[in-house]
A and B are shown apart, each in its own frame.
Chain A
Amino acid sequence: MKALRIALPKGRLLAPSLELFARAGFDVPSQSEVDSRQLVFARGVVEWILVKDCDVPVYVDHGAADVGVAGLDQILEHDGNAYQPLTLPFGRCRMMVVGAPDAGPIETAVKVATKYPRIARRFLDERGLRAEIVELRGSVELAAVLHLTSHVIDLVETGETARVHHLRLEEVICDVQACLLTGRDAWRTDGARLRDLIDRVENAAFPKELVPS
Chain B
Amino acid sequence: MRKRTENLTSSYPAGVRALLPDDVRRRRRVESAIVAALEARSFDEIVVPIIDFVDPYGGTADRESQRRSYRFVDRNGELIAVRSDFTPMVARALAPSLGRATLPLRVFYRGDVVRCEATKLGAQRELFQIGAELIGDVSPSADLAMLTLALELVTSAGVTPTVVLSSSALANQLIESSTGSRATRIALRSALAHKRSAAIVDFDDVSAERIALVRLIISGRATLDDLSALPETRDAANELASLQQRVAEETGANVVVAIDDIDEEPGYYTGMRFRIFDPRTRLRLAQGGRYDDLYARFGAPASAVGFTLTVDYLDGELR
Contacts and interface: CB of A to CB of B under 8 A. Distances in A.
A62 B195 contact: no
A59 B162 contact: no
Nearest to B123: A62
Contacts, number: 60
Nearest to B162: A189
Band of interface residues on A: 20 to 34
A71 B120 CA distance: 21
B34 to A, nearest CB: 23
B280 A187 contact: no
A94 to B, nearest CB: 16
Nearest to A186: B282
Interface stretch (A32-40, A77-85, A158-166): A77-85
Contacts of A186: 282
Interface stretch (B43-51, B214-222, B229-237): B214-222
B132 to A, nearest CB: 22
A187 B284 contact: no
B40 interface: no
Given A64-B122, A84-B195, A86-B197, 17 more contacts: A58-B118, A61-B118, A62-B123, A64-B121, A81-B264, A82-B194, A83-B194, A85-B197, A85-B220, A87-B198, A185-B277, A187-B220, A188-B164, A188-B277, A191-B256, A191-B258, A195-B220
B312 interface: no
Contact of A195 (B118, B221, B258, B275): B221
A186 B258 CA distance: 12
Interface of B: 64, 117-118, 120-123, 162, 164, 194-198, 218-221, 256, 258, 261, 264, 275, 277, 279-280, 282, 284
Contact of A84 (B64, B120, B121, B194): B194
A195 B216 CA distance: 12
Contacts of B221: 195
A105 interface: no
20 contacts: A2-B280, A2-B282, A59-B121, A62-B121, A64-B121, A82-B194, A83-B195, A84-B194, A84-B196, A85-B196, A87-B198, A185-B275, A185-B277, A185-B284, A186-B282, A188-B256, A189-B162, A189-B279, A191-B258, A195-B221
B168 to A, nearest CB: 15
Given A58-B118, A85-B218, A195-B221, A189 B197 contact: no
Contacts of A83: 194-195
Given A58-B121, A83-B195, A189 B64 contact: no
Contact of B118 (A62, A84, A184, A189): A62
Given A62-B118, A63-B282, A188 B261 contact: yes
Contacts of B196: 84-85
A85 B195 contact: yes
Nearest to A192: B220
A25 to B, nearest CB: 20
